[in-house]
Chain A
């Protein structure tokens, strides 16, 4: 067990009581509360856990936390600008209404953002090569392809007509059951962002 200093989304984070072979995925999710990065297969086969490490898209399920020290890690939560302005890929994903269940999409978006960083105007063949490792069980690939082209246009400041009418952003969460006892609640920041009651 050891303590690791990580640079995640531009912020220095310290995690302790972690074995060096722990995949970065679980450090992000379980220790840092960054649950946007998803677990899909644990073998770098599906791409749901894709993050950027020093600007390269990598499968965080197969990168030991010890190998991520000293590198700049960006997760889906850190892709938008500090002021909340969405990355062109995120905006394009909304404009093209890409997601169905949405579970693989953080990984798809991180992969697409890395692709566009290297290839600002990708061809269909570039997209085929760049996105081949990210699985989507809902089958949103046709929209992913279109959204990557849209994102490229957005990044270049080109005019566009979104295919869909934007919907208001829903407030996440669920309604409590009338008549049911209240959920034993602790301050919400205990739920988000902080290390949950794991390694004591």
Chain B
């Protein structure tokens, strides 16, 4: 092991600063909605603390946030992190080594398929030099005082925790080595650690971690600033392909998801909400429902005024899911739609037909677009329409809540973002926060849907009223009818080219949804999105249509919808200029630099150019193809990830589209788990293709019009292209992969369709543009 110096520790401070900066920038709107804030506002000071275990062993608690949180947690420490009986001092350890050599690592964030339960412990295990086969992973409960922010959002888990997880592993390794060196009477610097043991090369001595833990627990806990980290060349886990720690449980059916929680005596609840968003319950046939087989209770919940938490509705509690669903079918509610949503997607489409690229309320202006258009050699315009989409995670929304006799609300929630849900439950039910206990259970997909916690609030409200444990399960139809949808949007673009085919001006008038002059959540216009900020004359404007439809974060928020329009129009411009699109993109990027000087949370033009070149090279850009085939390429930057994607498609006379191959080139810094990383990329491609080809939610009279997978399709196995994934493993800090590989896919495919057919796709999904996806 070759320590790579304390530079890394210094860098960690930098990173934290950047993290605060960029998250403040990127999540302005998030914070205003209370999502993704958690405990991140607390001091970011981290520190390590040793814990002594009665059974002998080393536990390192690695705290983030307020120092006093450690004392609080320690004082209240009744259980222990591995779920066994209390054995002395039991803080929230990230890391615990038992005398038998088994290592327990805590995964602090929710896992909904993005793989952090494998990736985050790998980082600790690497620096610890642990034997991966002796590692057990345990998910933490919700305790932001001890763990800091615990959420799965913004592709942030790896980036935000990289340093502290490495520090936890390196500190324990340092203590184990110090203990061995002391026993052997040699210098610690002469010892190394590997595969769960400390070695002394000079004498050939070897001591297992298990044999050292008692002595190691007496060693001083090193100051994180003094720690040394492994160099990349010495990594034995990071960068390799490790299978998920949950794989065996999943393939044998033993993995518990939210919907599988069965506390003793649990009943099944359903909660009927209004078909038109925001309507209130006027009356319901509760007496008739209560007489139905298996029904235990039926009652109205008034709602607390925010659809994010508790919408008005009727709760039914029954013995079994089938009883509850049966009662739901027989429930008749008269809804008071006085204040309800009136949205009409048809009306929005009509409004968009008149969209003028020069109109709208100006949101951003750089240079002199009007002058640039006046002197342009060519002016190109283009319109694009992108619908609302739903999340449609495979596990329908659900949550289990137990209102206990000791007045504790215990909740098992498949959530991406437990803290705001816990706070909302406490507030609604008038409970102190510590009386709301939240277990983070695995979620069957999130994609941003589970950043919202209304199911948690509903389950808790029903459980308290019912005075017992309930598992709230939404039907698939209810899951579609009440979502926090990705908002639809329309663009009227105008671009200018000079006599040499260079892009000189870019205008985007976006029609989207908003109330009181503000875009609704996730409808914000991305002024920082590529390519606007790189064009010398740039104007962004918007027009807002009023809406009552709840909107929310959908995987790669804003980017996932906008990149299609932006990168398609950019391609229109390079075509109009008669230029090669790759060359056109590279010219636009110019010299290598951060887009915001000194801020590595922003696009780096050199990293962007590198992934574009790599995708072009690996994807055979420019090589001949048969008639009816075409290649398209697109680049996008979001969530600190630089991604270029190349798609190869064919389209026949009947517009049967086949996506044959997708080549992805990405730069997210070093790769943690190659298997998990590639899985995220492959999934992003399929997800993006699914939305592009098949998906839209429409609303009329304030009601969702799609209800299940027959009218809201997901891509299927036969339609899946060959996906090739290439990473540029730059030396920048590792960043997340849940989102940034998704946005470039749609424009890459549509640019390829243009190359194959000359047809420019201007509205989504493709099935609405006459395509059949094969």
| Interface membership of B134, Cβ < 8 A | yes
Per-residue interface assignment for chain A, residues 26 to 63, with 1 indicating a CB less than 8 Å from any chain B CB and 0 otherwise: 10011101111111111101101000000000000000
| Interface membership of B346, Cβ < 8 A | no
Q: Which residue of A lies closest to B680 (CB)?
A: A100
Per-residue interface assignment for chain A, residues 131 to 156, with 1 indicating a CB less than 8 Å from any chain B CB and 0 otherwise: 11111111111111100000000000
A176:B394 contact, CB within 8 angstroms: no
Contact of B249 among A31, A143, A169 (CB under 8 A): A169
Q: Name B240-288 residues within 8 Å CB distance of A.
A: 240-257, 259-260, 262-268
| Interface membership of B473, Cβ < 8 A | yes
Task: Give the residues in chain B near A174, CB-CB below 8 Å.
Answer: 83, 138-141, 439-441
Q: Name A78-115 residues within 8 Å CB distance of B.
A: 79-80, 86, 90, 93-95, 97, 99-106, 109
| Interface membership of B358, Cβ < 8 A | no
Chain A nearest Cβ from B152, distance in angstroms: 11
Task: Give the one of B73, B392, B679 with max A CB within 10 A.
Answer: B679
Task: Give the residues in chain A near B394, CB-CB below 8 Å.
Answer: 38, 40, 46, 48, 101, 103-104, 135-138
Given contacts A141-B717, A178-B90, contact A165 B262 (CB under 8 A): no
Contact of B709 among A19, A46, A75, A100 (CB under 8 A): A46
- Assembled-state Cα–Cα distance A139/B685 (Å): 8
Given contacts A165-B240, A175-B82, A179-B78, contact A38 B293 (CB under 8 A): no
Q: Which residue of A lies closest to B477 (CB)?
A: A42
Per-residue interface assignment for chain B, residues 111 to 150, with 1 indicating a CB less than 8 Å from any chain A CB and 0 otherwise: 0111101100000000000001111111111110010000
- Assembled-state Cα–Cα distance A191/B260 (Å): 10
Contact of B443 among A101, A106, A140 (CB under 8 A): A101
| Interface membership of B591, Cβ < 8 A | no
B321:A137 contact, CB within 8 angstroms: no
Q: Which residue of A lies closest to B688 (CB)?
A: A139
- Assembled-state Cα–Cα distance A163/B673 (Å): 13
B447:A137 contact, CB within 8 angstroms: yes
B256:A35 contact, CB within 8 angstroms: yes
A171:B321 contact, CB within 8 angstroms: no
A103:B444 contact, CB within 8 angstroms: yes
Given contacts A41-B708, A128-B717, contact A198 B320 (CB under 8 A): yes
Task: Give the residues in chain B near A1, CB-CB below 8 Å.
Answer: 293
Per-residue interface assignment for chain A, residues 158 to 183, with 1 indicating a CB less than 8 Å from any chain B CB and 0 otherwise: 00000111111111111111111111
Chain B nearest Cβ from A128, distance in angstroms: 4
Per-residue interface assignment for chain B, residues 655 to 698, with 1 indicating a CB less than 8 Å from any chain A CB and 0 otherwise: 00000000000000000000110011011111100100000000
| Interface membership of A127, Cβ < 8 A | yes
- Assembled-state Cα–Cα distance A196/B267 (Å): 9
| Interface membership of B722, Cβ < 8 A | yes
| Interface membership of B356, Cβ < 8 A | no
B717:A191 contact, CB within 8 angstroms: no
Contact of A35 among B75, B260, B716, B723 (CB under 8 A): B260
Chain A nearest Cβ from B663, distance in angstroms: 13
Q: Which residue of B lies closest to A93 (CB)?
A: B251
Task: Give the residues in chain B near A127, CB-CB below 8 Å.
Answer: 717
A102:B319 contact, CB within 8 angstroms: no
Chain B nearest Cβ from A179, distance in angstroms: 2
Report the stretch among B225-233, B403-411, B500-508 that lies at the interface. Answer: B403-411
Task: Give the residues in chain B near A76, CB-CB below 8 Å.
Answer: 251-253
A94:B142 contact, CB within 8 angstroms: no
Given contacts A33-B262, A75-B253, A164-B675, contact A99 B710 (CB under 8 A): no
Given contacts A26-B320, A97-B241, A196-B265, contact A182 B78 (CB under 8 A): yes
- Assembled-state Cα–Cα distance A183/B141 (Å): 13
Task: Give the residues in chain A near B115, CB-CB below 8 Å.
Answer: 100
Given contacts A168-B136, A186-B264, contact A143 B437 (CB under 8 A): no
Given contacts A33-B262, A178-B76, contact A171 B476 (CB under 8 A): no
Q: How large is the interface on A (under 10, 10 to 19, 20 to 34, 35 or more residues)?
A: 35 or more
Task: Give the residues in chain B near A31, CB-CB below 8 Å.
Answer: 320
Chain B nearest Cβ from A147, distance in angstroms: 10
B717:A137 contact, CB within 8 angstroms: no
- Assembled-state Cα–Cα distance A169/B257 (Å): 17
B248:A94 contact, CB within 8 angstroms: yes
Task: Give the residues in chain A near B447, CB-CB below 8 Å.
Answer: 137
B113:A101 contact, CB within 8 angstroms: yes
| Interface membership of B338, Cβ < 8 A | no
B685:A97 contact, CB within 8 angstroms: no
B319:A198 contact, CB within 8 angstroms: yes
Contact of A99 among B251, B395, B685 (CB under 8 A): B251
- Assembled-state Cα–Cα distance A97/B240 (Å): 13
Contact of B476 among A23, A43, A141, A164 (CB under 8 A): A43
B720:A100 contact, CB within 8 angstroms: no
Interface of A is mostly: loop
Q: Which residue of B lies closest to A165 (CB)?
A: B242
B476:A99 contact, CB within 8 angstroms: no
Given contacts A42-B476, A184-B405, A199-B294, contact A172 B76 (CB under 8 A): no
| Interface membership of B475, Cβ < 8 A | yes
Q: Name A180-200 residues within 8 Å CB distance of B.
A: 180-184, 186, 190-192, 196-200
Chain A nearest Cβ from B414, distance in angstroms: 10
B243:A166 contact, CB within 8 angstroms: yes
Task: Give the residues in chain A near B241, CB-CB below 8 Å.
Answer: 97, 163-165
Task: Give the residues in chain B near A16, CB-CB below 8 Å.
Answer: none
B473:A177 contact, CB within 8 angstroms: no
Given contacts A103-B445, A127-B717, A169-B245, contact A178 B260 (CB under 8 A): no
Task: Give the residues in chain B near A166, CB-CB below 8 Å.
Answer: 243, 247
B404:A101 contact, CB within 8 angstroms: no
Task: Give the one of B77, B78, B90, B717 with max A CB within 10 A.
Answer: B717
B112:A142 contact, CB within 8 angstroms: no
Contact of A100 among B240, B683, B710 (CB under 8 A): B683
Q: Name B694-713 residues within 8 Å CB distance of A.
A: 708-710
- Assembled-state Cα–Cα distance A190/B684 (Å): 40
| Interface membership of B81, Cβ < 8 A | yes
Given contacts A139-B683, A163-B675, contact A90 B716 (CB under 8 A): no
| Interface membership of B595, Cβ < 8 A | no
Q: Which residue of B lies closest to A183 (CB)?
A: B410
B709:A135 contact, CB within 8 angstroms: yes
| Interface membership of A66, Cβ < 8 A | no
Contact of A168 among B77, B135, B266, B434 (CB under 8 A): B135
Task: Give the residues in chain B near A178, CB-CB below 8 Å.
Answer: 73, 76-80, 90-92, 143, 146
- Assembled-state Cα–Cα distance A42/B259 (Å): 14
B714:A94 contact, CB within 8 angstroms: no
B244:A97 contact, CB within 8 angstroms: yes
Task: Give the residues in chain A near B185, CB-CB below 8 Å.
Answer: none
B442:A102 contact, CB within 8 angstroms: yes
A168:B476 contact, CB within 8 angstroms: no
Task: Give the residues in chain A near B448, CB-CB below 8 Å.
Answer: none
- Assembled-state Cα–Cα distance A52/B447 (Å): 31
A132:B718 contact, CB within 8 angstroms: yes
Task: Give the residues in chain A near B248, CB-CB below 8 Å.
Answer: 94, 169
**CB-CB nearest 6 A-B residue pairs:** A36-B253, A179-B76, A139-B686, A103-B444, A101-B113, A76-B253
What would 28 A/B residue contacts be, using CB atoms closer than 8 Å?
Answer: A30-B321, A39-B321, A77-B252, A77-B253, A93-B250, A93-B251, A105-B250, A105-B251, A109-B251, A132-B718, A136-B714, A137-B714, A138-B683, A138-B687, A140-B679, A141-B686, A143-B682, A145-B720, A164-B241, A165-B132, A168-B134, A168-B135, A169-B245, A170-B136, A171-B136, A173-B83, A176-B79, A180-B141
Interface residues in chain B, defined as those with a beta carbon under 8 Å from any beta carbon in chain A: 72-73, 75-83, 90-92, 106, 112-115, 117-118, 132-143, 146, 240-257, 259-260, 262-268, 293-294, 319-322, 325, 392-396, 402, 404-406, 408, 410, 434, 437, 439-447, 473, 475-476, 675-676, 679-680, 682-687, 690, 708-710, 714-718, 720, 722-723
Q: Known A-B contacts: A38-B259, A90-B251, A131-B717. Give 18 more (CB < 8 A).
A: A36-B252, A36-B254, A38-B395, A79-B252, A99-B244, A101-B395, A101-B444, A102-B113, A103-B445, A131-B716, A134-B717, A137-B447, A137-B687, A141-B716, A165-B243, A177-B141, A178-B143, A180-B141
